[in-house]
Amino acid sequence: MSGQAERSVPRHQPALPDEVLHFLEPSQGQTIVDATVGAGSHARLIAERLGPLGRLIGLDRDLSMLHLAQPRLVDLPVTLVQANFEQLPLVLEERGIHAVDGVLADLGVCSDQIDYAERGFSFQQDGPLDMRLDPTHGEPASALVKRLSERTLADLFWNYGEERYSRRIAGKIVETRRRTPLETTGQLAELVRSCVPRPRGQRHPIDPATRVFQALRIAVNDELGALESFLAALPRCLKPGGKAVIISFHSLEDRRVKQAFRDRAIWKVLTPKPVQAGDEELRNNPRARSAKLRAACLLETRRDQ
């Protein structure tokens, strides 16, 4: 087991826990999917409400997160599965489950993943430039940084990170990699910082590496492709009247969720505007500041029945 998994007390604090319970309304005997178990905090809150006849199916792409969550969920009716949530229909079919009462997805990564430098998500600590949620599949970020053309890198930083200095950063990467391979998070973070001008006489409000790291993480894990497939599959996985609750952390995700719930032949939207954390939650959990929750209920008379 990795060092990350050996850490027994997760650091991650769940975003919008009361709102998740309010919209998902888990109750005795239900079957609910937590598509992103992470450190298991939301999963525990939900599973505690399902009783002995209910079941929570918990997915995560990252096996070390399932190891971290598992001890917190031992006494509860929970089945943990390592899977990409885009495979939810298959996960349910393999377990003989036709449809479930609710699905939660809390997108992105956990503090426990970011804080573990070896995973390569952090621009604050030095580690290998990896960023894969499932380190046994796909290319690490270092391979993308080595292989992609200057133009493609610039487009990636612009499209997935809305990075104003995308061209300058891509140019610097290509120039640097001719001399030295970019293999660590520290190298890339320093390179990005050197390309972004500091506001006159001020400190940067956020680390200039933030947007480039976000963009690379999205690309490495095809996060938007997975989200789109998951959203398209959701109506097939829910019972009529079942609830979907999705928490996003940036506009690229939130836009897709909003768009998916817009189909009035399938969904009744429960959150006309995205729900955000209040002051009290933000005092204890600053990461929740960018969380946006949208919820919808599958219509009883949906078109594809």
Ligand X SMILES: C[S@@+](CC[C@H](N)C(=O)[O-])C[C@H]1O[C@@H](n2cnc3c(N)ncnc32)[C@H](O)[C@@H]1O
Interactions with ligand X, residue window 25-54 (CB under 6 A): 36, 38-42
Residue 61 sits in the site that holds ligand X (CB under 6 A): yes
Taking CB under 6 A as the criterion, the residue among 24, 46, 50, 65 binding ligand X is 65
Residue 217: CB minimum distance to ligand X, A: 10
| Size of residue set near ligand X by CB under 6 A | 21
Taking CB under 6 A as the criterion, the residue among 60, 101, 163, 281 binding ligand X is 60
β-bridge pairing 292-298 and 267-269: antiparallel
Taking CB under 6 A as the criterion, the residue among 46, 91, 114, 133 binding ligand X is 133
Taking CB under 6 A as the criterion, the residue among 16, 57, 80, 109 binding ligand X is 109
Considering only 23-31, 73-81, 108-116, 146-154, which stretch makes contact with ligand X by CB under 6 A? 108-116
Pair 229, 181: CB distance under 8 Å: no
**Nearest-CB residue for ligand X:** 38
Distance of alpha carbon 303 from alpha carbon 178, whole angstroms: 55
Q: How far is CA 24 from CA 14, 67, 108, 268, in A?
A: 15, 25, 20, 14
Closest CA to 184 of 236, 120, 137, 241: 120
Residue 109: CB minimum distance to ligand X, A: 5
Residue 85 sits in the site that holds ligand X (CB under 6 A): yes
Residue 226 sits in the site that holds ligand X (CB under 6 A): yes
Q: How far is CA 168 from CA 97, 154, 163, 190, 216, in A?
A: 50, 8, 10, 14, 16
What's the longest Cα–Cα distance across the chain?
62
- Please provide the size of the chain in residues: 305
Chain contacts with ligand X (rule: CB under 6 A): 12, 14, 36, 38-42, 59-62, 65, 84-85, 106, 108-110, 133, 226
